[in-house]
Structure 1
Amino acid sequence: MNSPAAEVVRLLTVRGETLAVAESLTGGLVAAEITAAPGASKAFRGSVTAYATELKHRLLGVDATLLERRGAVDPQVAAEMAAGVRKALGADWGLATTGVAGPEEQDGQPVGTVFVAVDGPWAADSGSTGGGKVASLRLNGDRAEIRMESVRSVLALLLQQLASEQTENERAQDTEQNGGF
């Protein structure tokens, strides 16, 4: 069985689509996981590791007021990071990770609070600036475990979205072939 990253690369390659990643707490681990998969260059555009809060605004277009009010560990920040990296790197799909790996809390959020997000082609249709899917996680473990589980979770979120989009496309094709029924 393929690793989640290899499966992401395979599916995106088959679909002729690309991926970009914005990372905070994972510090490049998502990009490393994806680029470890054979054939990654066919689907992976690149990544932005925006560890510092102001880089989330400057490089990824996350709303400065949002960052000021809620801090970097926030579901809407994750959504805007995913949309921002997708736009900045010209990809079909954007992933993002933000959260607290420890050892201390950040922005009033406890260790293990993580938000992962995916932004994709459906969001462009709605003119989205961060209207993608976000998963809120409460992870246990040490710093390394929290970071690795964040990587697994964001890849799983993308795979789930790719599968659900595939199902919708198949349903639409069936409806079309059956005269709209």
Structure 2
Amino acid sequence: MFKGLKRWFSKPKKTSGYVYYVKFVFEGEIFYKLGFTTKNSLSERFSYSGSDDFKSIKKTIFFTYRPNAWYIEQDLLDYFEKHLAFGKYSNDSTKPLAGNGQSELFKTDVLGLDEELYKVPDHLREDYRKRRQDAVDNTILMFFLITITWGFWAVVLIVMWLVDLMSTPQTPPIILMKPQHPHHIQEIINTLVDDSKYPEN
């Protein structure tokens, strides 16, 4: 009840507008911001009062109009509150977006929408494939050479070696898993992405 009253008194005059999710880079450190604005663009939103914070935008993940945008933003912020980078009421002049939405920053991709985080880079994928192929090639070569040299005993040695090889699997590239959300939260996120007026990159 207290939270509902607090939300009522903090409600802006205009609750329609845009819900957005943006990736920022401040001095090499990545942040994600979930927010609400009545401005028609993020450059306008983050150049307010002469601010140049818009220059730190790395990627707009979604920017979506909703007649109840402020309420949607509040629902999402309430759900993800424990993941906030600096706390719900943070306004520290030594940290990013001081007085400009700092309390809505996250250090991780809480919505699970920054696709590049969840892809295995091509060079790692190729390295893993090559290591697996090298292991197969070396096994065939070893089998051939030992069989020619040692005959019957080669079979025993090869079996022992294969058992050891199979007990030490090749380590695949690490893939970061997307966060999982309750159905109603995921539905909100999905519709915001689908209706966004901005492309993901």
Q: Same fold (TM over 0.5)?
A: no
- TM bucket by the smaller chain? under 0.3
* TM-score (norm: length of structure 2): 0.24
Q: Which structure is richer in relative contact order (CA contacts within 8 A, separation 6 or more)?
A: 2
Q: TM-score, normalised by structure 1?
A: 0.25
